[in-house]
Amino acid sequence: MTIKFPQQGKQTEYNLRRWTEVLADPGLTKFEGRIETDRHGHTLMSPPPAPRHGSFQSEIAFQLRSLIPIGRVLTECPIFTADGVKAADVAWASAECMGRLGDRSCFPQSPEFCVEVLSPGNTDAEVQEKMALYFDVGAAEVWLCSTSGAMTFSGPRTATHLKESQICPKFPGQVELR
């Protein structure tokens, strides 16, 4: 599924400028949930996820750091997409990719892969759209972690899921919480 949103010059500049405003807003810095934006610069706020969601995020980040020690594991990684700024639950970027992305408050392109930890309220359409947005800005893979910890791995040109990650083939198909 490919979602096409206009991402051109002035709109991109506006959305990046809007993200800087969001980060500087003292009222929003006190919000304890997730903040993203849509393509119009509107702020989207979600309550904090359940503790289990965060446990999956931290376990995935820990395993990635153990399996791929060279590179950077990022949590709540802000990525500018055609539909505004989206925060990947976990992302991984090689040293080369981090050199291109720099130390920005929002990445203009995706790290090599993004991981979404699903919540009970996520719809299939919402998940597919977010995956398409990450692929559109350069993700080589998008991983999904179900509410039970089952992992699925997808590439941008695959109609079905990959058997395993091509970037981190040793990553397990099931995340176990300790």
At 56, is the pLDDT very low, low, confident or very high (cuts 50, 70, 90)?
very high
Rounded Cα distance between 175 and 89, Å, is: 15
Residues 108, 109, 114, 118, Cα dihedral to 10°: 50
Rounded Cα distance between 79 and 130, Å, is: 11
Cβ atoms within 10 Å of 74's Cβ, excluding its own: 23
Q: Parse the chain into domains and list their residue ranges.
A: 9-154
Collapsed DSSP state (helix, strand, coil) of residue 97: helix
- Per-residue pLDDT tens over the stretch 127-139: 999 999 999 999 9
9-154: CATH topology is tt1808, chain A (3.90.1570)
Q: Which residue has the tokens 């006190």?
A: 30
Q: In this structure, are residues 67 and 90 in contact, taking their beta carbons and an 8 Å threshold?
A: no
Average pLDDT of the residues of the chain: 89
Show the DSSP H helices in the chain as ranges.
9-24, 26-29, 51-67, 95-101, 124-136
Q: In this structure, are residues 58 and 174 in contact, taking their beta carbons and an 8 Å threshold?
A: no
Rounded Cα distance between 92 and 135, Å, is: 14
pTM for the structure as a whole: 0.86
